[in-house]
Amino acid sequence: MTVPKTPTVAPATGKLGVLTVGLGAVSSTLMAGVELARRGMGEPIGSLTQMGTMRIGKRTDGRSPLIRDVVPLAGLDDIVFGAWDPFPDDAYTAAARAGVLDTSKHLEPVAEALRAVRPMSAAFDANYVKRLDGPNVKDKSSKRAMLDGIREDIGSFRDEHKCERIVMIWCGSTEIFLEPGAAHSDLEAFERAIDANDPTIAPSMLYAYAALQEGIPFCNGAPNLTVDVPALRQFAVEHSVPISGKDFKTGQTLLKTVLAPMFKARMLGVAGWYSTNILGNRDGEVLDDPESFKTKEESKLGVLEYILQPDLYPQLYGDMYHKVRINYYPPRGDNKEGWDNIDIVGWLGYPMQMKVDFLCRDSILAAPLALDLVLFSDLAQRAGLGGIQEWLSFYYKSPQVAPGLYPEHDLFIQQTKLKNTLRWMIGEDQITHLGIDYYLEE
């Protein structure tokens, strides 16, 4: 198969605006981390764009440069942050409230920069996030006015900070479960639905549409439907704006997408997989509402079906019982505990068990993903790539893919796809791992 021509990537000159929808635990941890990293006061651990390398050429060439040394990414010094949130707390106050980072060690040194990020009034409607209500909101009586308000905010931010380019990333709460419907089928229907204040147009869709109209890439860190509807996907393709989603793959699902491919690679059966979580942050509180939990549950459940392919291996995975629970437990704050009990089956049907107890920190895992996503989405736009960026599946629990394609969930296939896309963008050969040439050339 021929590889499409390498794109021309415009250079990353000038300021890159990063607009986060939501100024909560993930976004304030992202902002503080970037401010610390660019002052050399903290390591951006977990970020492929900052710490990752990529092999170029043959194994015998010995070339594994840092990705950021060979791919023209925007630098951390070029980033300027802005945000929307229904709560008026600035990024310092939001970070202190979230309690993820140590105040004296990680917030005080960058307090001034964090205090300068004051949230713009949110396009928020408590009907979509039942457990929250804040005063810093736009009038929700007209969806059209909310959409126009977001676009005005983007314009003012762009002018104030003299941004050359902007990326928007949803780090807001998980909305209630919505399915694609008539209002999302094409742009005309979508436009009509906005004017009619149709309840199937969620606030997140207004942000995404505003971003696309402004030519701004949109990344979706939550499982909300948002930009994963035909009308917006089509708009993104037609206007060549990168989109990607959904739901940062940080903790339990990250583990699932490593362990499940291992079971399948070894042809080990899975009889059951019981996953439970306790967490006590605001996200946990929102997910305590059954309607928001349903959105998250769908996102977490899909993974195993796709990886294990029970239709191809009915005797191994046909009767698998898969359950996911999330329990709001305030004492733990952002420090989530994710337990997995996996009942596996080996030779001649003998049962075995595996238990994983992941004592993680939600936002510490999510912040580097958010950073990579904005930098790679900006790169995609400069490379002229519009529509769904499937190569960013690596970062998501339920990756957006073109209609008719099944999502690729295996973390290492996702990583190969990501790195090969980067190689393609910089005109280097794909690495297929065939490797037969090392033996034929003897």
Q: β-strand 387-388 against 242-244: which pairing, if any?
A: parallel
Residues 6+ apart with CB under 8 A from 280: 328, 329, 330, 331, 332, 333, 334, 335
Closest CA to 207 of 301, 254, 138: 138
Instruction: Kindly write out the interface string for residues 188-207 of this chain, putting x where it contacts ligand NAD by CB under 6 A and - elsewhere.
Output: ---------------x----
Q: From residue 19, how far is each of 53, 117, 137, 302, 371 by CA, in Å?
A: 27, 10, 17, 29, 12
Query: Considering only residues 49, 174, 400, 414, which one is a binding residue for ligand NAD as defined by CB under 6 A?
Result: 174
Residues between 206 and 235 with contacts to ligand NAD, criterion CB under 6 A: 221-222
Q: What would the 3-class secondary structure string for 283-314 be? A: HHHHHCCHHHHHHHHHHHHHHHHHHHCCCCCH
Query: Considering only residues 92, 124, 391, 395, which one is a binding residue for ligand NAD as defined by CB under 6 A?
Result: 124
Backbone φ, ψ for residue 275 (5° rounding): -115, 130
Strands of the sheet with 15-21, listed across from one edge: 79-84, 15-21, 163-170, 218-220, 242-244, 387-388
Alpha-carbon span 393 to 402, nearest angstrom: 12
**Sign of the C-alpha dihedral computed for residues 383, 387, 393 and 396 taken in this order:** positive
Min CB(397)–ligand NAD separation in Å: 7
Query: Considering only residues 82, 86, 245, 269, which one is a binding residue for ligand NAD as defined by CB under 6 A?
Result: 86
Q: Which is nearer to ligand NAD, 24 or 280 (CB)?
A: 24
Joined tokens for residue 299: 């996102």
Min CB(437)–ligand NAD separation in Å: 41
Q: Which is nearer to ligand NAD, 251 or 302 (CB)?
A: 251
Do residues 117 and 32 make contact, with C-beta atoms less than 8 angstroms apart?
no
Q: Which stretch binds ligand NAD (CB under 6 A): 9-17, 118-126, 151-159, 346-354?
A: 118-126
Q: Which is nearer to ligand NAD, 172 or 242 (CB)?
A: 172
Q: What is the distance of C-alpha 309 from the center of its chain?
A: 24
Task: Using CB under 6 A, count the residues that bind ligand NAD.
Answer: 36
Backbone φ, ψ for residue 341 (5° rounding): -115, 120
Min CB(366)–ligand NAD separation in Å: 4
Backbone φ, ψ for residue 357 (5° rounding): -120, 105
Closest CA to 362 of 307, 281, 303, 430: 281
Residue with tokens 């959409």: 147
Residues between 247 and 266 with contacts to ligand NAD, criterion CB under 6 A: 247-248, 250-251
Residues between 7 and 46 with contacts to ligand NAD, criterion CB under 6 A: 21-26
Alpha-carbon span 13 to 345, nearest angstrom: 55
Min CB(155)–ligand NAD separation in Å: 18
Query: Considering only residues 17, 33, 42, 172, which one is a binding residue for ligand NAD as defined by CB under 6 A?
Result: 172
Burial 41-67 (b: 16+ CB within 10 A, else e): ebebebbbbbebebebeeeeeeeeeeb
Q: Which stretch binds ligand NAD (CB under 6 A): 151-159, 170-178, 380-388, 424-432?
A: 170-178
Q: Which is nearer to ligand NAD, 9 or 365 (CB)?
A: 365
Check residue 302 for interaction with ligand NAD (CB under 6 A): no
Min CB(347)–ligand NAD separation in Å: 37
Check residue 129 for interaction with ligand NAD (CB under 6 A): yes
Min CB(92)–ligand NAD separation in Å: 14
Q: Which is nearer to ligand NAD, 58 or 115 (CB)?
A: 115
Burial 217-233 (b: 16+ CB within 10 A, else e): bbbbbbbbbbbbbebbb
Residues between 312 and 371 with contacts to ligand NAD, criterion CB under 6 A: 362-363, 365-366
Instruction: Kindly write out the interface string for residues 43-82 of this chain, putting x where it contacts ligand NAD by CB under 6 A and - elsewhere.
Output: ----------------------------------------
Min CB(318)–ligand NAD separation in Å: 30
Residues between 363 and 402 with contacts to ligand NAD, criterion CB under 6 A: 363, 365-366
**Which position's Cβ is nearest ligand NAD?**
24
Min CB(224)–ligand NAD separation in Å: 7
Residues 6+ apart with CB under 8 A from 59: 435, 438
Q: Which is nearer to ligand NAD, 25 or 278 (CB)?
A: 25
Residues 6+ apart with CB under 8 A from 40: none
Min CB(5)–ligand NAD separation in Å: 35
Strand partners of residue 342:
273, 354
Binding positions for ligand NAD, rule: CB under 6 A:
21-26, 84-87, 98, 122-124, 129, 132, 134, 171-174, 203, 221-222, 247-248, 250-251, 281-283, 286, 362-363, 365-366
